[in-house]
A = this chain, B = another copy of it.
Amino acid sequence: MTTVDARTATAPAADPSPKPLRADAERNRLRILDAARELFAQRGPDVTLDDIAAHAGVGVGTVYRRFANRDELLEAIVVEHMGHVQKRVQEALDGDDAWQGIVDLVTFVSESMATDRGLAAVMMRVDPCAASVERAKGSLTSSVDAVFERGRRTGVLRDDVVESDFFAFFCMVRSIADLTETSVPGTWRRYLSLLLDSIRADGTRTPLTVPALTKEQIHAAKHGGRGDCSGR
């Protein structure tokens, strides 16, 4: 629901320009956006506005004068980031080598998911979000479909693989990133590599360049944790 009135976007380049912000206000707006981007990526979709405000060095009140509510702020940064992803994905599609295109695309999207917890949450979300986010998701999906189509046509993909398998791959990558990304960044690449090998038409196997976790690393994994038991 949330009113989607989309204030001045990132730069003062925008809509029926209501009025230029005062210098200090604009500076703060930018700092809020930066803080939101950073914390949203790092801590996922559950960051509180209080945290964002504190991290930006402003009071919550300031955040609320600029953005009607949590969702509006987050929507802004998500749409922005998905735009970047979309652009890079298109580049991967423009190359000649069908298989390399698949690898590039899947790797790049995986990387986005692995390094940005919030973005991942939004992309994995299946039930509809704000319209602007849905639109971005849609165009990303069609790029993935296109690269898949090419892979299938040129015969580099195993023929029992389908579009939705990529979706599953992203989901798996995210789960690995969830517990290793802060402690041993990039571990997800090891498993993505295995997965990619498994869907190649010829049985070629890429050597594993990223090491597995050691026992110590497993125990060092995961953000702090509370110590009590039975989940949560």
Binding site for B on A (CB under 8 A): 1-2, 44-46, 70-71, 74-75, 78, 118, 121-122, 124-130, 133, 160-165, 167-168, 171-172, 174-176, 179, 187, 190-191, 194-195, 197-199, 203, 205, 207-208, 212-215, 217-219, 221-222, 224-232
Contact = CB atoms under 8 A, between A and B. Distances in A.
17 contacts: A46-B231, A124-B179, A125-B222, A126-B218, A127-B225, A128-B227, A130-B229, A130-B230, A164-B214, A165-B212, A167-B213, A168-B212, A171-B179, A172-B175, A194-B198, A198-B198, A198-B205
Nearest to A204: B203
B175 A231 contact: no
A55 to B, nearest CB: 17
As for how many copies of this chain the complex holds, the number is 2
Nearest to A173: B172
A148 to B, nearest CB: 11
A176 B165 contact: no
Contacts of A127: 222, 224-227
Given A162-B212, A198-B197, A213-B167, A230 B172 contact: no
B2 A228 contact: yes
Nearest to A213: B164
A126 B225 contact: yes
A205 B203 contact: yes
